[in-house]
C-alpha cells in the first residue's frame, strides 16, 4: 500500500471516531435532559377549582385556617375568573379573621368590598371590617385606633344598610367601642393626676365629658374634675377614683356578685314553686 493510501485510510478512521463521539455526546445530553427535565414536565397539574374550594371549606369548617387559605390562594392565583374565586376571596378573609390575624383580614375584606361593591355580602363585610378593629380593643392602656376604626365601619354599615341583620349588632358594638374610648380617656386623666400634671388632667376630663356626657364614668370624671378645679389634689386611693373593672378581678366585682345573688334567688324560688310549675308529679 502506498504511503498516500495509508494516510487517507487513517484519516477516514479518525473522522469516523469523531462522528461516533459526537453522536454519543448528543444522545447522552438528550437522555440527561429527559431524566432531569422530564420530571418537571410530567408534574401533575393543579386541582380544578371545584375540588380546591371543597378542600378549602373542609379545612375551614374544622378550624384549620392555614390549610384552608392554601387552597383558597391557589384558586385566586390559578383560577381567578372561576365561579369559585369570589367565595375563595371572602372565606380567605374569614380564615385570617378567625385565626386572629385581624390586620390581614381587614385588608382582604376591604379588597373584597372594592372588587364587589354591590355584592349581597357587603353588609357582612362591613361588619367584619369593624370587628377587625373592635377585636384590637383588648386593653384600655393601648392604642385606641382599633375602636375608632370600628366605630367608623359600624356607622357606615348602619347608614348604608339600616335593615341589615348586622345593623343591630353593630349598634351594640359601637356602644361598647365608645365605652372603651371613654375608659381610655379617663385612665389618661388619672395618669396625669398621679404625675401631678393637673392642667393636662383637667383638659382630658373636660374633653371626655364633652364627647361622652352620658357615659357610665361621667359622674366620677365630673367629681374628679371638680376636685381639681377647686385646687384639691386627690388623695390616692386607687379604689376611690377608679371604677371596679379597672381595679378588681371579674369575680370580685359588684356586677358579678349581683348576678350570683340573682341566680341563687332564682334557684330558691324554683325550689319553693308549686308542683304544677316545677313539673313534679
Residue 179 lies in a domain: no
Residue 75 lies in a domain: yes
Residue 180 lies in a domain: no
Residue 70 lies in a domain: yes
Residue 109 lies in a domain: no
Q: What is the pLDDT of residues 53-79, one digit of tens each?
A: 999 999 999 999 999 999 999 999 999
State the burial class of residue 95 (Cβ atoms within 10 Å of its Cβ: 0-12, 13-18, 19+): buried
Phi first, then psi: give them for residue 135, nearest 5 degrees.
-75, -5
Answer yes or no: pTM beyond 0.75.
no
pLDDT at residue number 151? 95
For the chain, the domain total comes to 1
Residue 220 lies in a domain: no
Residue 78 lies in a domain: yes
Query: Following DSSP, what letter does each residue of 70-119 receive, concatenated?
Result: HHHHHHHHH-TTSTTHHHHHHHHHHHHHHTT-HHHHHHHHHHHHHH-TT-
Supply the range of the domain harboring residue 87. 48-99
Residues of the chain with pLDDT under 70: 1-45, 138-142, 235-281
Residue 61 lies in a domain: yes
Amino acid at each position: 500500500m502506498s504511503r498516500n493510501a495509508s494516510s487517507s485510510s487513517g484519516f477516514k478512521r479518525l473522522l469516523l471516531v469523531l462522528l461516533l463521539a459526537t453522536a454519543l455526546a448528543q444522545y447522552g445530553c438528550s437522555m440527561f435532559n429527559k431524566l432531569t427535565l422530564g420530571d418537571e414536565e410530567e408534574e401533575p397539574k393543579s386541582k380544578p377549582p371545584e375540588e380546591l374550594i371543597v378542600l378549602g371549606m373542609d379545612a375551614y369548617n374544622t378550624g384549620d385556617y392555614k390549610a384552608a387559605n392554601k387552597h383558597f390562594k391557589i384558586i385566586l392565583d390559578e383560577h381567578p375568573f372561576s365561579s369559585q374565586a369570589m367565595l375563595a376571596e371572602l372565606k380567605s378573609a374569614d380564615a385570617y379573621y378567625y385565626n386572629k390575624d385581624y390586620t390581614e383580614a381587614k385588608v382582604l375584606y376591604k379588597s373584597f368590598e372594592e372588587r364587589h361593591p354591590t355584592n349581597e355580602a357587603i353588609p357582612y363585610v362591613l361588619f367584619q371590617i369593624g370587628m377587625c378593629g373592635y377585636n384590637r380593643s383588648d386593653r384600655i392602656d393601648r392604642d385606641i385606633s382599633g375602636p375608632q376604626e370600628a366605630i367608623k365601619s359600624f356607622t357606615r354599615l348602619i347608614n348604608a344598610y339600616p335593615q341589615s341583620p348586622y345593623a343591630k349588632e353593630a349598634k351594640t358594638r359601637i356602644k361598647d367601642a365608645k365605652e372603651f374610648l371613654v375608659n381610655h380617656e379617663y385612665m389618661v386623666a388619672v395618669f396625669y393626676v398621679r404625675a401631678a400634671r393637673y392642667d393636662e388632667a383637667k383638659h382630658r376630663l373636660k374633653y371626655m365629658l364633652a364627647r361622652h356626657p352620658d357615659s357610665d364614668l361621667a359622674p366620677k370624671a365630673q367629681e374628679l374634675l371638680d376636685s381639681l378645679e377647686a385646687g384639691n389634689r386627690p388623695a390616692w386611693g386607687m379604689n376611690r377614683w377608679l371604677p371596679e373593672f379597672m381595679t378588681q378581678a371579674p369575680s370580685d366585682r359588684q356586677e358579678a356578685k349581683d348576678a350570683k345573688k340573682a341566680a341563687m334567688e332564682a334557684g330558691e324560688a324554683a325550689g319553693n314553686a308549686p308542683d304544677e310549675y316545677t313539673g313534679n308529679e
